[in-house]
Amino acid sequence: MGGLTVLAALMQRLPDQRFIYLGDTARLPYGSKTSASVVRYADQAAQCLVERGVKALVVACNTAAAVALPSLRNRYPQLPIFGVVEPGAAAAVAAADESGVLVLATETTVLGGAYQKCLLRQRPALRVFARSCPLWVTLAEQGGGSQLDELSLTVIKTALRGFIETSQTIVLGCTHFPVFRSHLLHLLGSDRVIVDSAQTTATVVAAAVGQAALHEQSTRSVDPMQMTQFLATDGVDRFRRVGEYFLGQVLPAVEWVDL
């Protein structure tokens, strides 16, 4: 579901593009599953999208991007494949001062160390902190980002314990986490730099495919949301309900697919 924050950012930057969005809702969350399972799920999802003729693939999940990108690129060498980790890490390195970077992500993303490696490869002396936030995905899907209530603030404050005073720059290393932006600024102070991997990924993808897109026929007269195809592996009603909360608008029909 969190990948919808990436889709929203992409649709804003590339309103003429047609998107196919696949949510593997039957097996979510990925963030507490092993790398082996996530690699297998990502392979199945990519195959489904490739069969539908996509000309580029965005792995809009930090957990999947962190562990499955090499095998996907290996399997589809001709297809441009974008992850969310590299753009987020690059933006964080650009923003970071001597206090370093704090990565907030799921258990599997943090344990896999993809952000930490990517950040240190770009600036070896960087101070890097990483914290897994296991309850945040469920909370986000329950609408916990919509207000600064006691439950949301307690869940977020608890995960940050011991990490409040670490870094000025914070990477939201899970696509669900942008909904907690105001909670983080409220708890950590409004002067923190929050790097949203959804936004940074959309910028990278838009730059890469935007050039090619200029030569295509414009479809701007059509509502981008109506051009978008939504696929889900579990119930389409729940997908529409939770999806509306993430996208801020009503979703068109959702198609059920079996991976």
By CB under 8 A, name the binding residues for a copy of itself: 25-27, 32-34, 36-37, 134-135, 138-139, 141-142, 150-151, 154-155, 158, 234-235, 238
Closest approach of a copy of itself to the CB of residue 1, in Å: 10
Minimum separation from the CB atom of position 2 to a copy of itself (A): 14
**Catalytic, out of 48, 118, 133, 174:** 174
Choose between 27 and 123: whose C-beta lies nearer to a copy of itself.
27
Separation between Cα atoms, residue 2 and residue 133, nearest integer Å? 14
- Give the active site residue among 48, 61, 118, 133: 61
Which residue, 206 or 259, is less far from a copy of itself as judged by CB? 259
**Least Cβ distance, residue 206 to a copy of itself (angstroms):** 33
Closest separation between CB of residue 168 and a copy of itself, Å? 26
Measured from the CB atom, is 27 or 75 closer to a copy of itself? 27
Nearer to a copy of itself, 63 or 169 (CB): 63
CB of 142 to a copy of itself, least distance (A): 5
Residue 174 annotated as catalytic: yes
User: What are the backbone angles phi and psi of residue 81, rounded to the nearest 5°?
Assistant: -120, 125
CB closer to a copy of itself out of 35 and 122: 35
Phi and psi torsions of 156, nearest 5° = -75, -40
Residue 84: count other Cβ atoms within 10 Å of its Cβ: 33
Active site residues: 61, 174
